[in-house]
Amino acid sequence: MNTVTVALGRRNYKIFIGRDLLARLEEFLPRELSSRCLVVTDDNVDPIYGQRLINVLKSLGFRPAKVVVPAGEASKSLAGAEALYDRAFEHGLDRRSPIIALGGGVVGDLAGFIAATYMRGVPFIQIPTTLLAQVDSSVGGKVAVNHPRGKNIIGAFYQPSAVISDLSLLDTLPVREMRSGMAEVIKYGVIWDDAFFQYLESNLDAAMGLDSRVMQAVVARCCEIKAGIVAEDERESGLRAILNYGHTIGHAVESLGGYHLKNHGEAVAVGMVMEAVLARQMGQLDVKELERLMALIQKVPLDISLPGEWHKQQAIELMRQDKKAVGNEMFFVLPECIGRVHIKKVSDQQLDDLLPVE
Ligand SMILES: NC(=O)c1ccc[n+]([C@@H]2O[C@H](COP(=O)([O-])OP(=O)(O)OC[C@H]3O[C@@H](n4cnc5c(N)ncnc54)[C@H](O)[C@@H]3O)[C@@H](O)[C@H]2O)c1
Ligand SMILES: O=C(O)C(=O)C[C@@H](O)[C@H](O)[C@H](O)COP(=O)(O)O
Ligand SMILES: [Zn+2]
């Protein structure tokens, strides 16, 4: 097992990474929790792991209630949140009652939003069940629901008390979701660590085949990188924005595809390639580095074509709502080489030159 600490002073917490951790839950939970707790999961994960978690919690003396939301991005909404508040009240949760997210990034972001706001904050435990959630969304405290006009618009920075990344939960993950998670894995190589990118170039097949040693190394390295960045800039006043590489375009692609033509990781893969092409057009990225990125993404394989529902002007409007934008000015995370990115203002003309019409 690996343990990674997110160093935030009194709000320090640990990420536990290994196989078969669910059965050892007691070792990882913080002390002084109330017995009543709320498990949030979705209707794909619940039939596979829901009852197992409930049984473990009961064996530890907890009195768990469970909310099962429909799988998919639509559950990450204010309406979805309201149902969870109701359940929290009905079950008599108090300020020491943990909210436990058992699922992918959708469940984690939604449950975290409830934990941040119910009674102005209750303990939050992440048990991520997708690769994407284990390497990214369960770490760092960005919790949110979507607004019809934009993704993650209503949210908070609210850190979990512990993250339990049980790698054996990935055994049942559909291959499409493995590939999607791999996009965010590749992101860490581009923004921070060429050696890790090289490791992926050599070990991608083993990772996709869920080789235990490789998967352990991959999830641990991603968490280490994210933990370091979040510890330095928890609320994204500077450095943390590099975690948003691929997302300015990616979020627009995800939204234009109605959140189903491309899921989050698939859209981020498109965004990473297009933002690398933008860096290249601006004379900042060597063509060989762009080719390395495209080769690794295609090896996953992830499809880097735009969704059928692509409309250039709508995409630009969506990009203007990006949280890195200041007034009318748009900022992008652009690679200089594999392992190093910087944040750069991009003009309307530069964006117009990059994006295809249809
Ligand atoms: N907070 C953050 O820092 C952060 C970072 C990255 C992404 N996100 C958000 O995360 C979301 C995407 O997360 P995701 O890719 O995990 O998607 P997801 O939560 O929708 O899960 C993907 C699919 O896999 C299923 N699933 C989950 N675990 C499974 C398992 N072990 N076995 C079988 N099926 C399983 C789910 O039911 C779902 O159908 C987006 O909303 C994105 O905005 C947040
Ligand atoms: O943790 C971060 O910071 C990230 O940006 C990680 C991203 O992968 C993630 O998709 C995040 O939810 C995007 O946040 P947003 O601020 O662009 O909504
Ligand atoms: Zn992301």
Is the CB of residue 197 less than 8 Å from the CB of residue 190? yes
* Shortest-distance Cα residue to atom 39 of ligand 1: 71
Q: Looking at 16-25, 52-61, 76-85, 146-155, which range is the least confident one?
A: 146-155
Beta strand 36-42 with 63-69: parallel, antiparallel or unpaired? Answer: parallel
Using pLDDT thresholds of 50, 70 and 90, give the confidence band for residue 247: very high
What are the pocket residues of ligand 1 if the criterion is a CB atom closer than 6 Å to any ligand atom?
A: 42, 44-45, 48, 71-73, 76, 103-107, 109, 129-130, 132-133, 136-137, 140, 142, 169, 172-174, 177, 180, 263-265
Query: Has 244 been annotated as catalytic?
Result: yes
Catalytic residue flag (residue 240): yes
Per-residue model confidence (pLDDT) at position 7: 98
Tell me the two tokens of residue 54. 């409930």
Query: What is the reported pTM?
Result: 0.98
130 labelled binding-site residue: yes
Confidence (pLDDT) at 149: 84
Whole-number Å distance, alpha carbon 60 to ligand 3 midpoint, is 34
**Residue 185: predicted pLDDT:** 98
Q: Which of 110, 135, 142, 264 to mutate to test the pocket of ligand 2 (most atoms within 8 A of CB)?
A: 142
Regarding the beta carbon of 152 and ligand 2, being less than 6 Å apart is answered: yes
| pLDDT tens digits for range 163-188 | 999 999 999 999 999 999 999 999 99
Structure tokens at 145: 């629901």
User: Which residue among 132, 153, 245 has the greatest number of ligand 1 atoms within 8 angstroms of its CB, and so is best to mutate?
Assistant: 132
pLDDT of the residue at 71: 98
What residue spans of the chain are helical by DSSP H?
Answer: 51-59, 78-90, 105-117, 131-132, 175-192, 194-208, 212-232, 247-256, 264-281, 287-299, 312-320, 348-354
> Is beta strand 330-337 parallel, antiparallel or unpaired with respect to 162-166?
unpaired
Can you tell me the distance from the alpha carbon of 131 to that of 336, in angstroms, rounded to the nearest whole number?
Answer: 27
Distance CA 338, CA 57 (A): 43
Cβ atoms < 10 Å from Cβ of 15: 26
Q: Provide the H-helix boundaries in 209-311.
A: 212-232, 247-256, 264-281, 287-299
Judge whether 142 is annotated as a binding position.
Answer: yes
| DSSP for residue 50 | I
Q: Is 87 part of the annotated catalytic residue set?
A: no
More confident residue, 309 or 195: 195
Quote the CA–CA distance of 209 and 271 in Å, as a whole number. 25
Amino acid at 233: D
Measured CA to CA, the distance from residue 73 to residue 132 in angstroms comes to: 14
- Whole-number Å distance, alpha carbon 324 to ligand 3 midpoint, is 14
State how far Cα 168 lies from the chain centre.
Answer: 19
Whether residue 141 is annotated as binding a ligand: the answer is: no
Q: What is the C-alpha separation between 262 and 302, in angstroms, rounded? A: 10
116-136: average pLDDT: 98
Residue from 66, 221, 240, 292 carrying the catalytic annotation: 240
- Report which ligand 1 atom has the smallest distance to the Cα of 130: 28
What ipTM does the predicted assembly reach? Answer: 0.99
Q: Is 142 a catalytic residue?
A: yes
Note the pLDDT of residue 308: 82
Give the distance from CA 276 to its chain's centroid: 21
pLDDT of residue 309: 79
For residues 326 and 20, what is the distance between their CA atoms, to the nearest angstrom? Answer: 45
Q: How many helices (H) and strands (E) does the chain have?
A: 12, 11
State whether the beta carbon of 321 lies less than 6 angstroms from ligand 2: no
Average pLDDT over residues 243-255: 97
- Please say if the pLDDT value at position 358 is more than 80: no
Does residue 66's CB lie within 6 angstroms of at least one atom of ligand 2? no
CB atoms within 10 A of CB 238: 10
pLDDT in the model for residue 307: 83
Locate the ligand 2 atom nearest the alpha carbon of residue 153 and give its number: 18
CB 227, CB 6: distance < 8 Å: yes
Q: pLDDT tier at 263 (50, 70, 90 boundaries)?
A: very high
